[in-house]
Amino acid sequence: MMTTYATKKYTVAQFNNRLKVVPTCWINNVKDRVFWPRHIESVNILEKLIEAAVFPEDYKNWDLYKVERCFGFTDDWSMAQEVTRYIERDELSNDDTSAPPPCYSSTPRTSIQAMQDEENIHPSTSQHSQFHGKSITHGSTKRNVTSASTEGDTGADPDISESDFRRCVMKTVRSLSMEVKDLNKKIDQLTAAKSVSVERRDNRETSEHGFQKFPIQSRSRLLAFERELKDQFFFDEMIRYLLEVNVDSRRLGMSVSAVCSRLIADTVVSEFSWRGRSMNRCFSQLRVARLLQKALRVIGEKIWFPKEIDDAIAKWLSQAKARNRDKNLGSGGEKVNKRYSGVY
């Protein structure tokens, strides 16, 4: 019986003379033993098991290996595979192709044992090993080596070989590279969040500047305004703008007249009716109609039902031609008939 490991972290580890990506939950807390399902022969099933980070509860069919080295861990499955390929290429480039591969022991060796084994396996290169095996302390006197080992400040092995030192440096470089990648991701996220904030602020400044263009005086401007209302942020800004209109929030008819007149001129809405009857354009299908409906629902002190709001807007639309005619006649002309119903 197995359960899915919650953290889903992967570790690049070397064990049994192999370099593998394993779930961190397969490694013990000391990082010196790893469980491996050798009984699973299918490569695809094994990769899916590793990617899902399934925790082994039944250890009967699992083998326990000694961890030779750990190269770090990550939450990204693809990054772990990329690191594994990078390490394998690096190890391949560091190997001497003219020499046979060394025989690895199942037990960890010290640096002195490693040097002795290399001399036994490759006697022709013993002089080269003797020269490079102590490259860090080469040229130092015995007194300096003794004093460095007695002080123990650095904690470094004076007999470390050049290849071991190079592997240690490469391990540190890989770890730093992974940390830099994570840092770059965080920087990209912060930059994206900041750009969204700046864009919203610019939209707010643009919309505040655009408020001076109301009421809308042409049909082309109305169509452009319809496209702008697709942006939810701009739609909400327009709601706040209409709430600033000085209206009698207790009377629906006066509120509709004040809010609608602030937004659209009579010369534009005279082409519309609420349902689009009698060769007029349909106003109820526009986004500006939904904008007015929502603003009026918020303005009212008492609850105005949607049907009441729609009827009030329809009446205001039907009176647009009469209002426009009065403006053309001048202040001394015919007054608007308040009982003018028109076409809804």
State the pairing for strand pair 18-23/54-56.
Answer: unpaired
Domain ranges (residues) in the chain: 1-92, 134-140+157-206, 219-329
Question: In the structure encoding, which two tokens stand for residue 105, read together?
Answer: 């022991």
pLDDT reported for residue 158: 53
149 vs 201, higher pLDDT: 201
Which tens digit of pLDDT belongs to each residue from 254-295? 888 888 988 999 888 888 888 888 778 898 889 999 999 888
Mean pLDDT on 137-150: 42
Question: In the structure encoding, which two tokens stand for residue 78, read together?
Answer: 């693809």
Dist. CA 262–CA 256, nearest whole Å: 10
Question: In the structure encoding, which two tokens stand for residue 177, read together?
Answer: 């590279």
Dist. CA 255–CA 235, nearest whole Å: 20
224 pLDDT higher than 80: yes
Could you tell me the pTM of the whole model? 0.37
Which tens digit of pLDDT belongs to each residue from 51-70? 887 766 666 678 888 888 88
Question: In the structure encoding, which two tokens stand for residue 214, read together?
Answer: 């109301």
Cβ neighbors of 33 (< 8 A, separation 6 or more) are 27, 64, 65, 66, 67
pLDDT > 90: what percent of the chain? 5
Strand partners, 65: 34
Which tens digit of pLDDT belongs to each residue from 16-30? 888 888 888 888 877
Residue owning tokens 């190890």: 91
Alpha carbon distances (Å) from 87 to 16, 70, 106, 110: 16, 12, 21, 22
pLDDT reported for residue 33: 85
Highest average pLDDT, of 39-48, 144-153, 198-207, comes from 39-48
Buried b (16+ CB within 10 A) or exposed e, 173-211: ebeeebeeeeeeeeeeeeeeeeeeeeeeeebeeebeebe
Dist. CA 259–CA 247, nearest whole Å: 8
199 vs 247, higher pLDDT: 247
Which tens digit of pLDDT belongs to each residue from 303-319? 778 888 889 999 998 88
pLDDT reported for residue 5: 44
Q: Provide the strand spans (E) within 278-340.
A: 281-282
Alpha carbon distances (Å) from 236 to 128, 176, 230: 76, 46, 11
Q: How confident is the model at residue 104 (pLDDT cuts 50, 70, 90)?
A: very low
pLDDT reported for residue 26: 82
